[in-house]
């Protein structure tokens, strides 16, 4: 667990090198980093240049850099009318994130969230890829997370393990409404405006350690648990974000239907995961862009 001062050193390094003061942070998942390329007046920081920051090892799919800049676009009012004003808001985007399967402890995977907090970020939008366990989900669908199961925590490996620093948050943070009710409602409204109703879902997500995909027996168990989507990221970032009182909204891009039968030749593979991400990412990025603009008060 790194100390408050180490995190503050990261935040100060970035604050000293950008004029932007974002209130919204965006963590871009596998193949979904394109939104950061839409920012203007950007200050770009490869992770290896940020003191004490971890570096992405899954470089094939993640750029591995922090992009701070302005996100623009027509502000969509809640009454479904397109306003004429073009709003520009400062955001900071992680192009590439850190996973337990890379060998990082969970606190390190979530450390960028604390850096964002010390920079003044108040709301966090997260996108990531996941397998669809709910039989109604199809590859290319989008799931808004309603709740998660912290399997690592169950196994005695929580992201908040170790000494608690009250400057971030309480020793025992509550996790009800971890996925902010109002932001979820906003996300559903925006998805409807984008005519995405038939591919948008809201469900329960579980993060597994990976990097191997799940066995049929594991998926049957998780289905009994009421899990709708499975992945290998995101839960530690959300827990750390809620610990320091950020509001959170997270979206899974469903990259494959989980295989829950023994008698099939189908296999989950990374190429499918990235391929589907490429096909749907424009919608995902537009959804996140509109929500970021809408929630920036």
| Residues making contact with ligand BTY (CB under 6 A) | 30, 129-131, 208, 210, 213-214, 230-232, 255-256, 258, 268, 273
Give the nearest distance from C-beta 123 to ligand BTY in angstroms: 24
Q: Select from 145, 190, 184, 183 the least CA-distant residue to 283.
A: 190
Angstrom distance (rounded) from CA 50 to CA 65: 9
Q: In the 8-state DSSP scheme, what is residue 214?
A: P
Give the nearest distance from C-beta 1 to ligand BTY in angstroms: 26
Give the nearest distance from C-beta 23 to ligand BTY in angstroms: 28
Give the nearest distance from C-beta 231 to ligand BTY in angstroms: 4
- The percent helix, strand, coil of the chain (3-state, each to 5) is 35, 25, 40
Please say which residue, 175 or 216, places its beta carbon nearer to ligand BTY: 216
Please say which residue, 172 or 262, places its beta carbon nearer to ligand BTY: 262
Give the nearest distance from C-beta 129 to ligand BTY in angstroms: 4
Please check whether residue 60 is in contact with residue 114, taking contact to mean a CB–CB distance below 8 angstroms: no
Please say which residue, 120 or 210, places its beta carbon nearer to ligand BTY: 210
Please say which residue, 94 or 121, places its beta carbon nearer to ligand BTY: 94
Side-chain-side CA neighbours of 148 within 13 Å: the count stands at: 31
Please say which residue, 162 or 211, places its beta carbon nearer to ligand BTY: 211
DSSP letters spanning 143-163: EEEEEEE-HHHHTT--TT-S-
């Amino acid at each position: 667990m790194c100390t408050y001062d180490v995190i503050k050193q990261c935040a100060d390094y970035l604050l000293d090198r950008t004029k932007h003061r974002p209130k919204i942070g965006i963590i871009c998942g596998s193949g979904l980093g394109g939104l950061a390329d839409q920012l203007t007046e950007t200050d770009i920081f490869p992770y290896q240049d940020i003191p004490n920051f971890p570096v992405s090892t899954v470089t094939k799919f993640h750029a591995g850099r922090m992009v701070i800049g302005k996100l623009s676009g027509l502000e969509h009012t809640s009454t479904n009318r397109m306003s004429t004003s073009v709003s520009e808001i400062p955001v900071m985007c992680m192009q590439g994130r850190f996973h337990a399967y890379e060998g990082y402890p969970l606190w390190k995977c979530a450390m960028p969230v604390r850096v964002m907090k010390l920079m003044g970020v108040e709301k966090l939008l997260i996108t990531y890829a996941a397998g669809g366990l709910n039989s109604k989900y199809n590859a290319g669908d989008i799931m808004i997370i309603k709740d998660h199961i912290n399997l690592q925590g169950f196994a005695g490996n929580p992201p908040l393990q170790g000494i608690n620093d009250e400057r971030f948050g309480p020793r025992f943070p509550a996790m009800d409404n971890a996925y902010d009710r109002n932001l979820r409602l906003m996300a559903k409204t925006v998805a409807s405006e984008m005519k995405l109703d038939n591919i948008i879902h809201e469900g329960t997500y579980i993060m597994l350690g990976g990097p191997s995909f799940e066995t049929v027996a594991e998926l049957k168990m998780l289905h009994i648990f009421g899990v709708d989507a499975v992945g290998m990221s995101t839960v530690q970032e959300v827990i750390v974000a809620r610990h320091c009182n950020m509001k959170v909204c997270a979206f899974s891009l469903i990259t494959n239907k989980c295989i829950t039968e023994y008698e099939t030749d189908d296999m989950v593979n990374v190429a499918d995961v990235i391929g589907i991400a490429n096909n749907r990412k424009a919608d995902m990025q537009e959804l996140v862009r509109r929500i970021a603009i809408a929630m920036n008060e």
